[in-house]
Chains A and B, each alone.
Chain A
Amino acid sequence: MSKRIDVKDLNVYYSKFLAVEDVNISIDARSVTAFIGPSGCGKSTFLRTLNRMHEVIPGARVEGEVLLDGDNLYDSAVDPVTVRSQIGMVFQRPNPFPTMSIRDNVLAGVKLNNKRISKSDADALVEQSLRGANLWNEVKDRLGRPGSGLSGGQQQRLCIARAIAVSPEVILMDEPCSALDPISTLAIEDLINELKSEYTVVIVTHNMQQAARVSDKTAFFNIAGTGKPGKLIEYGETTNIFNMPTQKATEDYVSGRFG
């Protein structure tokens, strides 16, 4: 499991508006890559193109290629449903299904496409996924309770458990800690560190300390002004981006002297 991603000459549009321009990036398997940059610079938009989730918004489209171990996600013969089942996503706000129990939430992805799973296999998978998301000990006695009854941090870890239950190749995280308190954030960051031994993780964050703590490589996105497209400014080892960036804009941003 876990594959690498290579993006070639990618432009992202909302109808006629060019939101992200000309991105070229290679994301290593079994690593954590962080996207940082100011609000509106297109990093979340770009992240959503990596599992074709941006298409959910009417009028959104891309030009260019995204290769998952060499296979183009945007090939006309590729079904976005297949892409998304291999590239999981965790959202900014925790979104467990409110009408499902904790257990059913974890199994939601596995039961898709009419797949059958025996009860003992399902039990094992629920435990394994919840352990993988560091949530098992907190919820093992109430698997039948609604997922919406958990705290925000627990809900977010439930969403991660749901994502890893289908054994994806890649996990995308869109500001997964922005709605959480510092202790829950720490729990998620520890989890990200563990996840990279098995998965390719890409995380968008506004928190530069977080990017510095969890990621192996960092990509800095920036925008020239309102209405202009976002661009990838600099991409490299996280230590280099934070300590000796080659671009002036990167240095200004990571040192807090933005503008």
Chain B
Amino acid sequence: MSTNALKRTGGAGESGDKIFSGASLAAGCLILAALFSVAVFLIVEALPVLGADPSDITGGEGFLTYIFPIVLGTVIAAAIALLIATPLGIGVALFISHYAPRRFAQGLGYVIDLLAAIPSVVYGAWGYAVLAPQLAIAYAWLAANAGWLPIFEGPASQTGRTMLTAGIVLAVMVLPIITSLSREIFLQTPTLHEEAALAMGATRWEMITMAVLPFARPGIISAAMLGLGRALGETMAVALVLSGGALTASLIKSGNQTIAAEIALNFPEAFGLRLSELIAAGLVLFLITLAVNIVARWIISRHKEFSGAN
């Protein structure tokens, strides 16, 4: 006899809820499945390298000796790119969000976004044909005047197709990522906090350091990490620009190689154990990118209490 007036009626809203939660669950699972299958592919295909005789590996001294220089090369290229692009990107984003007149800022924003639309092979060709010859002149000067620094040790490359050039090209490529993400976050700074700083007699720069940058810090780190991901994995531009070779400390000599370019340049002719080597190198790149993302999340979470989210 007891009828509860509040009991479920099975209306359209209820089934809509179920469909949506099912769809989002499926989407989430699909991502995990894709990630999982790539990881499995990498591991299975790379396994033969583990059992192989060290003398059969390229270079003849085992996989670690083979992979170490190109891991280092990858990290160096990405580090150069971030060192240049992060401050520059933050500066451009701040200029767009807080300094430039509105109309000009919009135009500049579009131009920066356009940089992201240029295909990486075009960047590679530009770096190879335009940037490298120009930089070769600067490298010759650096070798002559700052050659006592290991990173500028001569003789400088005649073509300019060096690690530093590759890093600079990568910096231009990751600049739009860092700039547009930072700009979005700077624009979201609560007006309340900006006004709090200004009302105390802060100059515009002081307002930015007090209210805008602390608020945007996690976002800037995320932007830099996304840029780093792009720089680590970028293949085509580096393959075209860099005249690769053995590991060297000097950034203005030819030499060095990155994992992605190594794979791209050798994959078409590889078979058997060589193929496994390249896939194992891909696995290492995957792990590096994963580690970078974990570290970034950890940095962001360290200051949660002071993030203003509470």
Which A residues are closer than 8 A to B by beta carbons? 51, 53, 56, 58, 81-86, 88-89, 91, 93, 95-101, 108-109, 112-113, 146, 148-149, 159, 162-163, 166
Contact = CB atoms under 8 A, between A and B. Distances in A.
Contacts of A109: 200-201
11 contacts: A89-B195, A91-B196, A93-B192, A95-B195, A97-B193, A98-B306, A98-B308, A100-B306, A112-B202, A113-B201, A162-B200
Interface of chain B, helix or strand or loop or mixed?
A: helix
B199 A51 contact: yes
B215 A99 contact: yes
A85 B306 contact: no
B305 interface: yes
A98 B200 contact: no
A81 B306 contact: no
Interface of B: 102, 190, 192-203, 206, 210-211, 214-215, 217, 303, 305-308, 310
Given A91-B192, A112-B206, A98 B199 contact: no
Contacts of B196: 91, 95-97, 159, 162
A88 B190 CA distance: 19
A88 B198 CA distance: 10
Nearest to A145: B305
List 7 tightest A-B contacts by C-beta distance, closest first.
Answer: A85-B201, A98-B308, A99-B214, A109-B200, A89-B199, A95-B192, A84-B201
Contact of B199 (A53, A58, A113): A53
Contacts of B198: 53, 56, 84
Nearest to B214: A99
A56 B192 CA distance: 12
A53 B214 contact: no
Contacts of B215: 98-99
A204 to B, nearest CB: 14
A97 to B, nearest CB: 6
A97 B192 CA distance: 9
Contact of A88 (B199, B217, B303, B306): B199
A38 B42 CA distance: 69
Nearest to B198: A56
A112 B210 CA distance: 10
A98 B193 contact: yes
B104 to A, nearest CB: 13
Contacts of A98: 193, 214-215, 306-308
Given A58-B102, A91-B192, A91-B195, A99 B200 contact: no
A112 B200 contact: yes
A108 B211 CA distance: 11
B211 A97 contact: yes
B187 to A, nearest CB: 14
Contacts of A51: 199
Nearest to B203: A81
Contact of B200 (A58, A100, A148, A163): A163
Nearest to A89: B199
Given A91-B192, A112-B206, A99 B307 contact: yes
Contacts of A166: 200-201
Nearest to A146: B306
Contacts of A85: 200-201
Contacts of B203: 81, 112-113
A148 B310 contact: yes
B198 to A, nearest CB: 6
A163 B190 CA distance: 19
B209 to A, nearest CB: 10
Contacts of B305: 146, 149
Nearest to B191: A56
Contacts of A149: 305, 310
Nearest to B217: A99
Nearest to B202: A112
Given A58-B102, A159-B196, A148 B308 contact: yes
A155 to B, nearest CB: 11
Given A84-B202, A97-B214, A108-B210, 14 more contacts: A56-B195, A58-B102, A89-B199, A95-B195, A97-B196, A99-B215, A99-B217, A109-B200, A112-B201, A112-B202, A146-B305, A146-B310, A159-B196, A162-B200
A89 B308 CA distance: 21
B195 A82 contact: no
A82 B202 CA distance: 9
A103 B102 CA distance: 36
A44 to B, nearest CB: 12
